[in-house]
Each structure stands twice: as C-alpha cells, then as structure tokens.
Structure 1
Amino acid sequence: MSDSSPLPPVRLHPEAELARDALATPLLSRAARLARWAGPDTRIDAGGGLVEEQLPAAAELLGLSGDDAAAFASEAWRVAVDTGLVEIVDSEDEDEGTVAAGPDLALLTQGSPHEVLAVWQEALETVLADASVPDLDDLEGALDETGEIDFSRLEWDPEAEADFLDGVLGNLYLLTVSEDGPGDGPVPLPALAASMIVPSDMGEPTNDVLEQVSDAMMRLDDQFRLLEPVGLVEYQPVDEALMAEPDDAVAEPAARADDTDVSRYGMVRLTPLGLYGLRARLLEAGLTAPAVGDLVDKGADVLLDGTATFPPTAAQAETEQWLARREPLAAARELLAAARGADAGAPLRRLRCQQALSLVGTEAEPALREVLDDPELGGLARVWLSEHGAPDVPAPSEAMIFWLTIDTIAAQLAAEGNSEELRALVQGLAAQHGGFFAAAWRVDHPATADVLEAMGRLHPDKRIAKEARKAAFKARSQQGG
C-alpha cells in the first residue's frame, strides 16, 4: 500500500460495542482472569513469565486442557503482563519474582470504551509480535556458542517477517474497506498470499511464484490461527486433509482453487474489532485512514474537500451523518458557500455539494433561490429546484448551460478519471449538440481547455476527437496559456 494515497474510509462500529467485543475475546478475557487470580504467591521467572510449576493451575483456572493448555495459559499470562493488567514486583531473587494487579486491570470494568480498547490494542501488539516469530521447534540448531539465537542459521529475518505480516494485514484491510471488495465477506487465503507475491503485471504465475504463494499460505495459516483468539480476524484454517494429498495439490493453490474448493485453502475476514485495530495501527504508521463520521463536526468546506476522494457510498454515508446534525436550510447555505471557487478542486466540490443537496428536503429551497444569479451556482440551483418541483424556476441561459457542462465534466474527471461513464457522457454531448465544440471553447471556466482535451482523448470518433482537440487549443490560446 502507498503511504501517501488515502485509503477508502472505513465504517466503524460504535466504541461501546467494540469494547464489549474486546472484553469477550478469548485472549483478553483469559488475561484478565489470570490478572485477578495472581497474587503474592504467584511466582514468575526472570523474563516475567509464569514459572513452569504454576502453569497447570493457571490452565485449570482458564478451563484449558490438552497438550496445548500450558502454552495457552502462558500466552494469556504474557498478554496480562504486556498490557499492564499484571504488574511485576521487584524481587531480590534474580531468577524469580512476584506480581500484583496492574494499574490497567481496573480499566476493564471501570474505564471508558476508549480505555478498554487501548488495553486490547496492547494485547493485539503482543500477539502480532508473537505471530512474526517462527515456531520454537524451528529454533533447534539455531543457537550459537553463547546460547543466543543466530538468525543467519535460522534463515529468518525478524524485520522482514513483521513487514510481510503488516503488508498482508494492510491488503486485507484495503480489500475489506474498498467498495468493490468483499466487504464483510471472507477473503480466500490464496488470494491474500498472492497479493503479496505475484506481481500485478504477471500473466500466468510461474511454478517458482506458485511455490512462494504456497509457502506464504502455510505461514499465514499459522499466523491467523494465533490472531483469531485476540479478535482480529475470523479464520477458517487450511483443510488439514490437503497435507495428505499429492504435493501439487498444495503447491498450486491459487491455480487449482475454484468456487467449490477454495474454502479448503483457508478463508479469513477482519472482524469489526479488527478493522478498528488495524486502522489505529495504520494511523500510527502515518497513513491516511479515514473513517465515516470523521467529518460530522467540521465545516462544509472540510466536508466537500474531505469526501472528494471517497467512493460514492461512503461519501453519501458521511454526508448523511453531517446533515443529520444540522438544520436543513442552514446546512444548504453552508454547502453552497463552500462550493464556490475557481481552484482546481472547485468542480468536484460543486459535484459533492449537488449530491449533498439531493439529500436535503424542500426546506432548503430559499437557499437555492438565493444563488440563482450566481455564475458558479446558478446552474446547479436550477437543477435542484426543478427536480424538487419548485414553481417559477427561471430558464438557464445558453452560457450557463455550457458553463455547467464544463464544470460537471471537470468534476467527473477529478472523481473518476477516464471512466466508461464519462466516455458515454462525452459521446452523448457531442451527438446531441452538433456545434458543441464551436461554442464550448469560449466558455469562461478555468477547466475549459482541460475538459476539451479530455473529450478529445475519450471520444472514439477520430473526426470528433480532432474537433475537441482544436477547440481545446483555441480555449488555451484565449486563456493565454
């Protein structure tokens, strides 16, 4: 993901709801139970972990059984320590110490939703750090003469591994918040692994690339199993039966997966809590990661500029929330005032203004009538009044019609680029108005030349495209550019 391009806005659940979700996650709830259980008799080792003799009692308290019970109890304890639910008391014994309830334990029952989520976020960071560490079984033979891990023997780069997981989670976030993505639906693990490895310009993946995707899937399978108990994701693991099938069945999951068997290769989706957590991490990393509702207390100028890059559905949701806090007539006047301007962003502001006003009822009519003679707003005011069945709407002049047409195309170019919808609009204009280009180049609008050049690029008829380019040249000459 680019660190400069803003991400699509995410729709977050209310913090109170997310805080309840956080408290209900298996890992944080276990950590809290251990923190309340811990006391002066609880013994820890030099690293702050529970001594081995205490793990069975901790596992029993948590209702854990089986071969992994001690490991799960140890993980929950480590989260309790890392999040401040447990505080380590200094001890003269270098090998063992004691603990007490930490300052953050009370936040889980008495803190605000935001404070609860801050504790959960610390738990998430602990689990993410653990997820980037290879299995302890893989450490055998990787210790040097002093007993320290020799990463060169392990062929493991901790920074690269953490960056890879961050990249995967970033892509999962982007897929989730994009309007053309799966939304609340799960993402196939092969697609997620391929998004990090297969170059975007590669046609048919090579065997080497497919093998890398397969290796990445196995790593991600382990990592998502770790991340599910903290509530970041809901995960359907890779079908273990696949491990018993021929090697090529696993080595080429992206190629073999189809609608009937893709789920066997793992399916993952971010939870509402996971969306909240990843957005917080993206913001911390300096990325622009907006959320719907961020602009509700801002002025109309900030709303129109802020939603300029939003996809249509998100822009409407943000605008609806903004309007809900304001009286319709005052909101309409504020929107119209913010839509004025001759800068490059003004056409798109006016388009967003027009879209916002479409959500306002007839109470806004006086505001629209006030701008009927405004050269920049008179056209959209007439459109709004006509669509709302207002009486006595003055007909627009030909100059106003052409100005509004240029302004609208300039806004569409800024919002969508050379889209198919815009291509159809250009063709329709040229077909309906035989002398369009002969008149359009005279329009006194800052974007006239740019719009005519774009029409020349977009129109499939070479003769008409040439007319558009000639008109653009005339417009630029008229503007002295």
Structure 2
Amino acid sequence: MSIEWVNRAIDGLRVWGHENGVTPDADEIRLLCDYASDYLEVGAPGDFRPATFEELLLEIYPRKVITPPDSAAGTVAAAHSLVDFLASTDAVDGPTAAEMRATLDRVGPLMPAALADSSKFGMAKSIFSVIGADTFELIEPGVDDAAPRLGQGRSLTLDEDCDCPGCAPLPPVRLAAPGEVAKMVREVPLLRDAHTVVAWMVESGATATTRKALRVKDAKVLAGRGVARPSVAWGLALELGLAELDGVQVSAEAGFRALEERADEDVLDLWVGLVEFLGEDRGEVTGSAVVDKEVYAIHDLLYRLQVPVPVEAVGDYLSEVADDGPVGDLTEALEGLVAAGTVAITVEGLMLTPHGMWGIREMYAELGLDAPIAPDLAEGDASGLIAGLLSDGITPEAAEPDIVRWLGARSPAEAAGELLEAVVGAPAEVRGVAVTIVDRLGFEAEPAVRRYLSDQELRPHVIHWLSARRLGAPPLTEDEMLWVSVDMLALAIPAAEADPESFAENMAASGPSPEVIEDMWKVEHPDVVQVLEMLGHTLPDRNAAKAARKAAFKARSRGIR
C-alpha cells in the first residue's frame, strides 16, 4: 500500500514525536495513511479532511481491517496523534484541525459497533467469517515478526490444531502469466459494463442520486443497451474509481479509457478491485441473497479443491455454511458470478477461471496468508518433475499440463532416458511415477527404454513396456512377475492409506490371487512387508487377506524390513 508520501510522513512523525516527547503509534498511523491514500484520494498530508477520518473509522476500517471491536480506542487515539502532527507541521490549519478533533470525538464511540457489524465486512473479513477463522489475539509488537500484521501489532491467529477448512494451509496453485490474466480480464462482462456505464453517464450528462446510486430511469436505458446489471456495474465503477462524484454530478476518472487501451498493470489493479467488490456488495451481484452473502465461501471452496465442483454440491455446501436450509436452484445465481468473471460453469461443474484463481490468490496474499504458488514442473529436469508430482497439494488435474509440456519439450527417447535414469535405485513410489509417464510414450522411445533391461528393479517394468508394444522382449520369470506385483502395490500404499475402502474395491476386482500372495514373501523388495500387511488389512476376500498376513509373517522372519 505505502507510497512515498506516506513513508516521508511517517519519518516526519517519528521526528516530531521525539522532539515533543511523545510516542505516536506509527504503525497504526501508517495504516490510516495507507487506506486514505488507496481509497480516499489522499495524496499528501494536507489532503486530510474531517470527513476523511469519519470515512476511515466507520467505513474503511470495518470493511478492510481484521481487528476486534475493542481495538477501536487505539485507532482513534492514533488518529488524534495524526491530527496533532498535521497541525504542528502546518499541513492543516488550526480551524481544520479543531474540526478533525471534533469529528473524532463524535465518531470514535461509534467505531466499535462498526467493527462488529458483519454487514460492513469487505472481502477479507467475509472470507474469515465464512471459513471460521474468526479468533483474534492481540500480539505485542515485535513478539512475532513473522506474523501477518493488520494494524498495530495485530495478527490473525489460525489454530494449527483445528481441522476446519479455514485453518488448513492453502494449497499451492498454478497461476496464468500476468499478461494472460490481463487479456482474460479485458473480456469480463461486469468490468466492461462498468466502463460502459461510466462512458454513457458522462456522455449523456446523467446524474447520480443523493445516495450515490444510479437513477431508475438511467438503469432502464443502460439495460436496453445490453448492460446486464446496471446498478451493480455502477457500484463497481465507483468502487474502482472509474467514476467520480461531485454531489450528484458524474465525471470520469482522469485519463478514463477503454479496457483495450489500458496497460496490463492497470487492468490487473482493476481486477483485484473487482474481486474485492464481490465480497462487499450485498444482494445484487447474483440476485440470490444466499450466494451474494457466501460468495467467498464458494471461491474458497473452489480455490482449495482446484477441481470442478457439481452445482448440486455447491448448493449443499452453501446450505451448510449459511445455515439457511436448502438453497434451491443456483443456476441463475451462479451465472451472475460467471458474468463477474471469477468462475466458469463446465459440464463437470463450477470452477475458478484462471483470472479468478489469480485474483483470489492476490486477496489471500494481501491478508498476509501464505498462499503458495506451485512450481512450473515443465521447466525442471526429470527429478524435479517427479518430485513435484509427489509433493503435497499438487492435484493430478493441475499437474497434467506440466507433464504434457515436459514431454513436449523432448523426443520420446530423450524423455524415457531422463525419467528412467532419474529413478535408478529410487523407492517404489518414485519409480512408479516415472514408469507411469514412460508408459505414455510410443515406439520411438524403445532404444532408451530397452537400455534398462539390465537394471534389476526396472527390468520387469521394461519387459512389460516392450511386451505391450510387441517389440520383442524376454519373458518375465516367475520371480520377476512377483517382484513387479509387489512394486506396483508399493506404489499404491499412499492411496490405500488415504482411502482403504476404494483400495479394497479395486483389489476385489483386479487384485492378486491368494496363490500369488502366498509366494510374495520370497520377493527381495524393501517394501514387501508393508505391502503384505496392507493387503492383510484391506483385502475383502478372507482367504486372500489371511494369505497376506501369513506371507507378511514369513517375510519378517526372513529379516526383510
């Protein structure tokens, strides 16, 4: 947030405090200046007005700052110190300073109620009210410098022992390049409508109401010109600063221009503002009160899952988090979010758009949350690709484009050679990832694959690969067939531990026979005991499970661990 004038002002504030024997709350005053700069067009200390403080304390702070109501007194005291500083440095004259102090005396007692009023919460606070992370702890300044700070020494405290979604770490996400995001944002219907409304209002000389709203007659005209939700588009235009009001008179921002003519950086700033606006509007963005109220519950769900979610499941989720009972058909309401650009509806269900993902992550980052970005696996070597695919939080859907691009940058022979070389002597899970990718490759990879017939652990997989393509391969011996069975089951251990019921169903349909299991104890494989114990606990066939437990006992007796 901070810009140069704020930095200079805070430096001057500290000097002023030292010279006058006072200790102003510089952190809180910086936050006041930051928000005044970002939202109230304050570009220098002398731009502060009495109304600036009223807007900051009763509107901006309740929307933006995650802080308990009883912190209001400290913020008001910091505002008084700021007024004293402004007056002593002649940034404001005496009468203006007196009026500022009177404003603070009047609005200060109202601030705790404003901070507690959930209807005023903006995107940041709405997220946490939805996902349950609403516990705040006052931290002494300097105690935990790594904590995300919002105001003087305040930090949102997430409970590490809690298993609710809001306390779970955010998963790594893949983001589109900023240039691609900006290109997609330029086509967002709601943002384009906001520009259309401003251009028409200025051109036609239309005025706003005394409440800054769009007049009904003007909304009808704009609707006839193809603006889907004129009032929402007008509210967004005001939020983004595309339109300015002098009383009821409307003017466009300085340098107002079409989205196509704006620089990428400008477009991305507008997009972040739009994403935030969605959490601040009440009851109009989609036409559904429940969806508007829980818009970031939807976004948070999609962000964390990173897969399409059936619309029916979204409805069930909203019924649970909103505690309002069944929400009914969401089709029309969700189309409102589609027009806002953050989500898309596919045949599989609702999902974040690439620019929606980018914008939501920007909001998390502004909150001070750890919102990791998944590495681009296509840019690394084979070891990096495999390690990335095995890392926590990377879904198969998110990783698939990386695999495709990684393979596309190499010939089949080069890809096979790199992958197999990277897993020589590696654990079964690592080896299994490489073998699975190599299995995608065609005949052109044969020379590179065949070279690993001499590797004891890769040989059975190589034989299977060659045989499946009828490329002339030695037959698998009985020991090799047992070994590859254990090796592939070892690859499935994490999945079996995560979902034993599904694993048991798969084993019932295509698992090894009791006769094969009985002989697995002979296999010189480091995971054979773990594999057999897993089969003994999960196989639905009693005879097969009993055979697995006996074989595990024999393998342990041999000293295989």
TM-score (norm 2): 0.54
Look up the match of 2:510: 425
The change in CA–CA distance for 1:75 and 1:372 in structure 2 (over 3 A counts) is: same
Q: Distance in 1 between matches of 2:434 and 2:348?
A: 38
Look up the match of 1:262: none
Matches within 5 A, 1:234-383: 270=350, 273=353, 276-278=355-357, 280-281=359-360, 285=364, 294-308=376-390, 318-342=402-426, 346-383=427-464
Q: Distance in 2 between matches of 1:302 and 1:469?
A: 37
Unpaired segments ≥5 residues, structure 1: 139-155, 200-208, 236-266
Q: CA deviation at 1:64?
A: 3.6
The change in CA–CA distance for 1:17 and 1:311 in structure 2 (over 3 A counts) is: closer
Q: CA deviation at 1:168?
A: 2.9
Unpaired segments ≥5 residues, structure 2: 1-163
Give the residue type in structure 1 aligned to 2:421: A
Q: Distance in 2 between matches of 1:440 and 1:270?
A: 45
- The answer (yes or no) to whether the contact 2:536–2:544 under 8 Å persists in 1 is yes
Q: CA deviation at 1:340?
A: 3.6
Q: Distance in 2 between matches of 1:107 and 1:456?
A: 63
Give 1:123's match in structure 2, choosing from 247, 256, 274: 274
Give the residue type in structure 2 aligned to 1:123: L
Q: Distance in 1 between matches of 2:213 and 2:380?
A: 54
Look up the match of 2:72: none
Q: CA deviation at 1:50?
A: 7.7
Q: Deviations over 1:95-121 (max 9, x none)?
A: 789866357957642534x86455334
Look up the match of 2:534: 454
1:79 paired to 2:209? no
- The answer (yes or no) to whether the contact 2:192–2:259 under 8 Å persists in 1 is no
Q: CA deviation at 1:277?
A: 0.3
Give 1:23's match in structure 2, choosing from 183, 186, 195: 186
Look up the match of 2:494: 414
Q: Distance in 2 between matches of 1:415 and 1:103?
A: 56
Look up the match of 1:169: 299
Q: Distance in 1 between matches of 2:373 and 2:185?
A: 22
- The answer (yes or no) to whether the contact 1:43–1:50 under 8 Å persists in 2 is no
The change in CA–CA distance for 1:387 and 1:373 in structure 2 (over 3 A counts) is: same
Give the residue type in structure 1 aligned to 2:360: R
1:227 paired to 2:349? no
Partner of 1:359: helix, strand, or coil? coil
Look up the match of 1:390: 471
Partner of 1:213: helix, strand, or coil? coil
The change in CA–CA distance for 1:121 and 1:270 in structure 2 (over 3 A counts) is: farther
Q: Deviations over 1:446-478 (max 9, x none)?
A: 221110011112333434422311322333454
Partner of 1:441: helix, strand, or coil? helix
The change in CA–CA distance for 1:27 and 1:312 in structure 2 (over 3 A counts) is: closer
The change in CA–CA distance for 1:394 and 1:6 in structure 2 (over 3 A counts) is: farther
Task: Considering Cα pairs closer than 8 Å and 6+ residues apart, tell me whether 1 or 2 has the greater RCO.
Answer: 1
- The answer (yes or no) to whether the contact 1:233–1:268 under 8 Å persists in 2 is no
Matches within 5 A, 1:150-165: 164-165=294-295
Look up the match of 2:55: none
Q: CA deviation at 1:330?
A: 1.6
Q: Distance in 1 between matches of 2:219 and 2:194?
A: 14
- The answer (yes or no) to whether the contact 1:456–1:464 under 8 Å persists in 2 is yes
> What is the root-mean-square deviation of aligned Cα atoms in Å?
5.0
The change in CA–CA distance for 1:35 and 1:477 in structure 2 (over 3 A counts) is: farther
Q: CA deviation at 1:61?
A: 11
Say how many residue pairs are matched. Answer: 382
Q: CA deviation at 1:332?
A: 1.1
The change in CA–CA distance for 1:313 and 1:43 in structure 2 (over 3 A counts) is: closer
Deviates more, 1:296-305 or 1:323-332: 296-305
- The answer (yes or no) to whether the contact 2:344–2:352 under 8 Å persists in 1 is no
- The answer (yes or no) to whether the contact 2:412–2:445 under 8 Å persists in 1 is yes
Q: CA deviation at 1:380?
A: 1.0
Q: Distance in 1 between matches of 2:525 and 2:254?
A: 65
Matches within 5 A, 1:458-469: 458-469=538-549
Give the residue type in structure 2 aligned to 1:213: G
Q: CA deviation at 1:282?
A: 5.0
- The answer (yes or no) to whether the contact 1:333–1:367 under 8 Å persists in 2 is yes
Q: CA deviation at 1:32?
A: 2.3
Q: Distance in 2 between matches of 1:354 and 1:77?
A: 56
> Identity over aligned residues, as a percent?
28
Q: Distance in 1 between matches of 2:203 and 2:285?
A: 34
Give 1:63's match in structure 2, choosing from 195, 209, 222: 222
Q: Distance in 2 between matches of 1:284 and 1:348?
A: 36
